[in-house]
Amino acid sequence: MVSDRGLQVLRAIVQDYVETREPVGSKAIVDRHAFGVSAATIRNDMALLEDEELIAAPHTSSGRVPTDKGYRVFVDHLSELRPLSSAQRNAISAFLEGSTDLDDVLSRTVRALTQLTGQVAIVQYPSFARANVSHVELVGLGGGRLLAILVTDTGRVSQRMVPTAEDLDDADVAQLRARIAAMLTGRSVRDGAQAIAAQLDADDTPAGRLDQIARPLLRVIAEELEEFRQDRLLMAGTANLARREADFRGSIYPLLEAIEEQVTLLRLMSEMIPDDGGLAASIGRENEPFGLAEASVLASDYDATGSRARVGVLGPTRMDYPTNLAAVRAVAHYLSRLLEDDDSSR
């Protein structure tokens, strides 16, 4: 059982190690922090923390550094998060305001978060399986090309170029648009995908001219609807891993691989257990089942018009947890508010 002063000493070690990158000794703690006790007393507290495997000596006769378990205890005992400055809050607001659709909002979100924290920023797309298709648009571009646009009631927008066997006049485009809109508008993404699949199965040998043109168009739209249903992540700041490579005990390759594949990070993000405020942290060896024992992930829930998803950061275990958690929480709050305002304006 760690005493209250022992927790304060652990907090001092974490803070100093994050700031200086150097192992922390008892004399440095006495000099930098107002404990009102001798260095010998602090050494006794540090010995107890070491017995609890909360700190460790990286070298003989060196100071101490936090272990993954120590970071976990530190995070669990954070009494409050460091508030963001007004400049930081204004930066978040400026980044997110004026976005045009959900893809743009989430892209701005990860760029804002990586600038605030210096870590890899991650945002999870909300699940759109239950979203409804609110609008279908086809635009003839000439040269045997159509632009197919799908919009959901949650603000997701998809645009795909579709080649056609011939140029289409306005009447042809309008007829195709009406046919596809009747099949999809007002239906959920899941039901719309099923309707298209049924149409393609029932129409193996299209006879009419527009039927033949519609078939590849329906396949493309089905692909877009399927992508709406899939969980995926958007990330920014991957280069920060290389800049912070010295903070990792081993290779950063597993982290780069997880970022590229996304499946591992999706599983990890979905399994993290949030606290009462919606914040979650998974630290170091807690991530070993995902092959990411060298990293920490901090995340917060955000609300996308009734569908919950997560935004967070990934980086080395030696990170500024209070500031990064505060940044994640603030960005999640702004994101939820922006999406709520956008939904109410429709």
The token duo for 334 is: 């702004």
Give the domain-ending residue among 205, 229, 253: 229
Say if 60 falls within a structural domain: yes
CATH at 27: 1.10.10.10
Give the length of the chain: 346
**Based on the domain organization, do 199 and 244 belong to the same domain?**
no
Strands (E), 11-80: 55-56, 65-66
Question: Which amino acid belongs to residue 230?
Answer: Q
Percent of the chain with pLDDT over 70: 95
Q: Do 229 and 129 meet the contact criterion of CB atoms below 8 Å apart? A: yes
What is the rounded CA–CA span in Å between residue 208 and residue 313? 53
Predicted local confidence at residue 319, as pLDDT: 95
Q: Are residues 174 and 184 in the same domain?
A: yes
Residues 114 and 143 in one domain: no
Render each residue's pLDDT in the chain as its tens digit; 346 residues: 789 999 999 999 999 999 999 999 999 999 999 888 999 999 999 999 999 999 999 887 779 999 999 999 999 998 778 788 888 888 888 888 877 778 888 999 999 999 999 999 999 988 766 678 999 999 988 888 889 999 888 777 889 998 887 888 899 899 999 999 999 999 988 888 889 988 888 766 556 777 788 888 899 999 888 877 667 889 999 999 988 888 888 888 888 988 888 889 989 998 999 888 889 999 999 999 998 999 999 999 998 766 778 999 999 999 999 999 999 999 999 998 888 766 555 5
pTM of the model: 0.76
Element (H, E) at 328: helix 321-344
* Same-domain check for residues 143 and 188: yes
| CA–CA gap between residue 192 and residue 185 (Å, rounded) | 8
CB 325 within 8 A of CB 319: no
72 part of a folded domain: yes
222 and 137 both lie in a single domain: yes
Is residue 70 classed exposed, middle or buried when 0-12, 13-18 and 19+ CB atoms within 10 A define those classes? Answer: buried
CA distances 341 to 113, 154, 303, 305, Å, are 21, 12, 12, 9
Domain identity same for 288 and 324: yes
Between strands 295-304 and 65-66, the pairing is unpaired
Encode pLDDT of 114-170 as tens digits.
999 999 999 998 876 667 899 999 998 888 888 999 988 877 788 999 888 788 889
Same domain, 335 and 235: yes
- For 195, the enclosing helix (H) or strand (E) is helix 189-202
CA-to-CA distance for 151 and 116, rounded, in angstroms? 31
Residues 91 and 158 occupy one common structural domain: no
For residues 216 and 104, membership in a common domain is answered with: no
The total of structural domains in the chain comes to: 3
Q: How many CB atoms lie within 10 A of CB 47?
A: 13
DSSP-based three-state secondary structure for 312: strand
pLDDT digits (tens, 9 = 90+) for 325-343: 999 999 999 998 888 766 5
CB of 31 closer than 8 Å to CB of 38 = no
Structural domain span for residue 213:
133-229
Boundary (domain end) residue, out of 187, 206, 229: 229
Do 217 and 239 belong together in one domain? no
Distance in angstroms (rounded) separating the CA atoms of residues 170 and 311? 43
CA dist 325 and 167 (Å) reads: 54
Rounded distance between C-alpha atoms, residue 19 and residue 106, angstroms? 30
| Torsional sign, CA 198, 200, 206, 211 | positive
| Residues 25 and 143 reside in one and the same domain | no
- The pLDDT assigned to 128 comes to 67
> DSSP assignment of 131-161, as one string?
PBEEEEEEEE-SSSEEEEEEEETTS-EEEEE
Other beta carbons within 10 Å of 23 = 18
Q: Are residues 156 and 275 in the same domain?
A: no
| Whether the Cβ atoms of residue 147 and residue 141 lie closer than 8 Å to each other | yes
